[in-house]
A = this chain, B = another copy of it.
Amino acid sequence: MRVLRVAAVSPEVVLGDVDGNVERVAEAVAAAAARGASLIVAPELALSGYVFIDAAEARSAALDRHDGRFDRLRAAVPEGATVVVGYAEATPGALFNTAAVFTRSGVLAHYRKSHLWGIEKNVFEAGDTAGVVVETPVGCLGVAICYDNEFPEVPRRLALAGAEVLALPVNWPVVARPAGEHPPEIIQAMAAARSSRLATVVADRRGEERGVAWTAGSAVIDGDGWIAAHPDGSHVAMSDLDIPTRGDKRLPPHNDLFADRRPALY
């Protein structure tokens, strides 16, 4: 068992203002790192905004993987920490809804969302993996984006592949829910966390954009599926997570969440 301080940040995101968004994300990352967080997650498409009218507008706010502005973000990260930030990724022929995983030293992975929501289908191509696992300085990290996690196969697959924590950048539009209930996407993330003992760091948007109100659902969910932190006054959800020895899914005295699976039957 080890303790990992994690943070979901939610800086202001301005649609299309890439330089400004890079600066605000970098500041939020530096502030969370100064509070001791070593895994820091920012929202989906945090460098671009979300509510594009069409692909041309999205392209104007998209970055190449090798864009120098990632250097500005990396410079905000202390040694030993790992950051996940969503951005619109441009290739010559396509756009992707991508999350970059990086440290001060370099970019470890770019994960392209593979389950596209709503009119994202008109703008982005879908990626070809269902989430990704990345070895990082803070451990084996699972990464998925928003609607990906509503497919229970995704967090399950990542946990089985060794993920110790899931970084989940999202943009959750507010949806109706009964009084007293969590947002439905949180319930799904809680259940996925508990099923696989996969602590999850959700970084959501707040405020609104072109009439879309965001849920402000950032949360840290522990490996038992309970909410360890909601956003504080600075829009940061931060908590110290107990991370078990890798692969330890025991439920003493008689059970084990993974050994009790019956994969031949699924």
Contact = CB atoms under 8 A, between A and B. Distances in A.
Given A178-B226, A226-B177, A151 B114 contact: no
Contacts of A152: 152-153, 156, 191-192, 195
B225 A184 contact: yes
Contact of A157 (B117, B187, B188, B266): B266
A143 to B, nearest CB: 14
A121 interface: yes
State the number of copies, please.
2
Contact of A118 (B254, B265, B266): B254
Nearest to A228: B178
A262 B227 contact: no
A111 B227 CA distance: 35
B226 A262 contact: no
Nearest to A189: B191
Interface of A is mostly: loop
A: contact size bracket: 35 or more
Contacts of A266: 130, 153-154, 157
Contact of A195 (B117, B150, B260): B150
A245 interface: no
Interface string A116-130: 111101000010111
Contacts of A225: 184, 187-188
Interface in A96-122: 114-119, 121
Contact of A254 (B121, B157, B224, B261): B121
A188 B156 CA distance: 13
A67 interface: no
A194 to B, nearest CB: 6
A170 interface: no
Given A154-B266, A187-B191, 8 more contacts: A114-B265, A129-B265, A130-B265, A147-B260, A151-B262, A152-B152, A152-B153, A188-B225
14 contacts: A114-B262, A114-B265, A115-B260, A115-B261, A118-B254, A130-B265, A130-B266, A152-B152, A152-B192, A152-B195, A153-B261, A187-B225, A188-B225, A190-B191
